[in-house]
Structure 1
Amino acid sequence: MSGHGFHVHGPHDHEVEHAAHAASHGGHGDRKDSFASTIAVTTAILATVGALFAYMGGATQANAGLYKNNAAIRKTEASNQWNYYQAKSSKQNLYEVMLNVLPADRQATYQAEIERYKTEKGEIKAAAEKLEAEATAWDAKSESELHLHHRWAQATTALQIAIALAAIALLTRRKWVEVAMFLASGLGLVLGGAAMLHL
C-alpha cells in the first residue's frame, strides 16, 4: 500500500522487489538473486494456480448446494404424491366397504369408482417413484460435487502452504524450506489434477 511516498509491504513483497531490481541491474549472476527470482516466479505461478483452484472449489460447493436443493424439492414432490396416493387409497377402501353393505343393484357404480381409484393410484405411484429416483440422482450429483469441492479445497490449501513456505525461503534462504515449498506445490498440483479427473 502506498500514499504520498509512504510504502507499507510485507517481507515477501520486499524480496520480490529486491529480486526484480537486481535482475534489472545485471544481477543475474548472483546466486542469491537467482534464488530470489526463482522463488518469486514460483510464488506468482502458485498464486495464479491457487486462485483458479479456489474458484473451482467455490463453484463445486455452489453446485453441491444447488443439487442438494433440487433433491429436497423432488423429495417434497414425491412426498406430496405419496400423500395423494394415500388419500386415493382411503377413498378406495371406503368404496370397498360400501360395496359389501349395499344391495347388488347399486354395487356397479361403487365397483366402477373402485377401479377408477386403482387406476389413479397406479399413475400416482409411478409419478412418486419417478420423483424419488430423481431425488436420489440429485443427491448423488450433490455428493459428487461436494467430494470435488473437498479436493479443490485440499489443493488450494497445499498451494497456500507452498506460498507461505516460499516467503520463509526468501527470508531464510534455507534450501530445505525451498524443497518443502516445492513438495507442497507438487502435492497441491496432484490434488488439483485429481479434482480435474473427478477422483
Structure 2
Amino acid sequence: MSAEGFHVHGPHDHELEHAAHGNDQFASKIAVMTAIMATVGALFGFQGGATQNDAAMFKNEAAIKKTEAANQWNFYQSKSSKQNLAELAMILPGADVEKYKAKVARYDSEKEAIKLVAEKFEAESTEWDKKSEAALHQHHRWAQAMTALQIAISLAAITLLTKKKWLQFTSYGVAAAGVGIAALAWLHI
C-alpha cells in the first residue's frame, strides 16, 4: 500500500505504464494505437447505444399508431353494426323506411371517413416499423464495429507481451475492419 492508498494495476495497464516510461519504440507505438482504438471504440459504443434507443422509440411509436388504427377499426365496426341494425329496421312492419334509409346512408359515409383514418394510422405504423428495423440494423453494425475494436485492443495487449510484429499488424487489420464496419453503419448499409 502506498501513501496515497491502494494502487491496483491490471496486466494490460502495467505493460502500458512500462511502455510509456521506457524507450521501447515498439511498445510506445502499440500503447498509442491502443489508446486511439479505445477512444474510437467508445465513440462506436455511443453510436450503437443511440441507434438502439432510436430503434426502441420507433418501435414504440409504431405500436401507438397500430393501437390508434385498431381503435378506428373498432369505431368502423360499431358504425357497421348500427348500419346493419338500421337496414334490419327498414324491413319491420310499420317502420319509417325513409328515416332508416337516411341512417344507413349516414353510417355508410361515416364508415368511409373512419376507414381512411384507420388506414392512415396503419400506414404510419408500418413506416415506424421500417424505421425501427433500419435503426436496429444500424445498431448491429455499430456493435460489430465496437466488437472488432475490442478484439484489436486485446490483440494489441498480446502484442505488447509477445513483441510479435505480425500480431501488431493483425491488431491494426482488425481495427481497420472495425472502422470499415462503422463506415457501413454510418452510411446505413
TM-score, length-normalised on structure 1? Answer: 0.90
Partner of 1:172: 162
**For each residue in 1:130-188, what CA deviation from the matched residue of structure 2 results, as whole angstroms up to 9, or x when unmatched?**
00000000000000000000000000000000001110000111122112201110110
Structure 1 segments unaligned to the other structure (5+ residues): 28-32
Matches of 1:93 and 1:3, distance apart in 2: 89
Cross-structure match for 2:18: 18
Matches within 5 A, 1:33-182: 33-103=24-94, 106-182=96-172
For residues 22-77 of structure 1, the C-alpha deviation after alignment (integer angstroms, 9 at most, x for no partner) is 2xxxx3xxxxx111111011001100000000000001001101110111111111
1:55 counterpart SS class: helix
Rounded Cα–Cα distance in structure 2 between residues aligned with 1:7 and 1:16: 15
Q: What amino acid does structure 1 have at the position aligned with 2:8?
A: V
Mind listing any 5+ residue stretches in structure 2 that lack a counterpart?
Answer: none
CA distance in 2, matches of 1:68, 1:75: 10
Q: SS at the partner of 2:188?
A: coil
Letter aligned with residue 117 of structure 1: Y
Secondary structure of the residue aligned to 1:101 is coil
CA contact (8 A) 1:11 1:171 kept: no
Number of residues of Structure 1 aligned to a counterpart in Structure 2: 189
> For residues 130 and 3 of structure 2, what CA distance do their matches in structure 1 show?
53
Alignment-mate amino acid for residue 183 of structure 1: G
- Contact conserved, 1:159 with 1:184, CA < 8 A, in 2? yes
How far apart, CA to CA, are the structure 2 residues paired with 1:145 and 1:156?
Answer: 16
The superposition leaves residues 4-29 of structure 1 with CA deviations (integer Å, 9 ceiling, x where unpaired) of 3653212222222222212xxxx3xx
The more displaced of 47-56 and 4-13 is 4-13
RMSD after superposition:
1.6
Kindly indicate whether the alpha-carbon contact (under 8 Å) linking 1:95 and 1:110 is maintained by their aligned counterparts in 2.
yes
Task: Give the structure 2 partner of residue 8 of structure 1.
Answer: 8
Q: Matched residues, percent identical? A: 60
Q: Could you tell me the TM-score, scaled by structure 2's length?
A: 0.95
